[in-house]
Amino acid sequence: MISPNIERLYAQIRRHILLAQSYTEINELTFIIRACRLKPYSHIFEGKTSKLVLHRWWFDEFGNSLKIIKNKRIRITYNDLSLNKDKVVCTDLYRGLSLDRIAKTSKLVHVVAGKDDDFNENCFFITFLGIDNYLRSYMNLYGEWQQVSPLLLGMRSLKYLARHTDVKHFHEFSNKENSSLPCDRAREWISFMPAGKDFLQTLEKSYNKAFSFLSDNKGKIILHE
């Protein structure tokens, strides 16, 4: 089920989001909460409150959690079994669009490419920042694209994205922490959209047509269940 009321929710809890950012001293946290469509657990499952409280438990629409724990640190739990996933609602009106359509409605792209040495296969992870300021991520393992949670990027890459939403070209950077892929020798890039010729040629040189949907060709995805 899809609900379009995410902006209304964020308007209601704006002060709560700012409080979480102030408490953790993570300047990028407001961007991460909103761009990843995170919602406060107690507000959704335990009843709304008008009081200003510090929400320590946030969850996304893929059943993952972001928690503020001791020493103001962030812990991400993938496939959080303590969540009632039957009550987790999708709010993305773009859910199910093909990759080329998502690319055309985005203003930024983050690409991770690596090698699964155990199976001698390439593995790719791509994240778009849409013109609506929401992140949409897709993973390709063994030739199939599947929509996944942007939280798989990990905090370091998410903070990096938050600080570079106005990128004017493309560049490659090193990220050895919170790898989003089960593979070694991963490379990462960030680029404005629509992607420039130099960036497309860089990807094609190393990975052939794996990212052809960034130009004119169409890409198909498998929806997250």
Tens-place pLDDT, residues 71-119: 999 999 999 999 988 888 899 989 889 898 999 999 999 998 877 666 6
Q: Do residue 106 and residue 55 come from a single domain?
A: no
pLDDT tops 50 at residue 222: no
pLDDT tops 70 at residue 51: yes
Q: Do residue 113 and residue 80 come from a single domain?
A: no
Number of domains in the chain: 2
Q: Assess if residue 225 is contained within a domain.
A: no
Confidence of residue 221 (pLDDT cuts 50, 70, 90): very low
72 contacts: CB under 8 Å, gap ≥ 6? 23, 24, 25
Q: Assess if residue 19 is contained within a domain.
A: yes
Q: Do residue 73 and residue 119 come from a single domain?
A: no
Q: Do residue 105 and residue 43 come from a single domain?
A: no
Give the domain range for residue 37.
Answer: 6-87
Instruction: Measure the CA–CA gap between 15 and 29, rounded to whole angstroms.
Output: 13
**Interval 142-147 mean pLDDT:** 84
Q: Assess if residue 158 is contained within a domain.
A: yes
Of 35, 63, 87, which residue sits at a domain end?
A: 87
Q: Do residue 82 and residue 108 come from a single domain?
A: no
Confidence of residue 135 (pLDDT cuts 50, 70, 90): very high
Q: Assess if residue 78 is contained within a domain.
A: yes
For 76-103, letters b (16+ CB in 10 Å) and e give: bbeebeebeeeebeebbeeeebebbebb
Q: Assess if residue 111 is contained within a domain.
A: yes
Which pLDDT value is given to residue 211? 86
Q: Do residue 78 and residue 114 come from a single domain?
A: no
What's the Cα-to-Cα distance from 171 to each of 134, 195, 198, 210, 216, rounded to whole Å? 21, 12, 10, 19, 22
pLDDT tops 70 at residue 224: no
Cβ count near 104 (within 10 Å):
16
Which pLDDT value is given to residue 74? 96
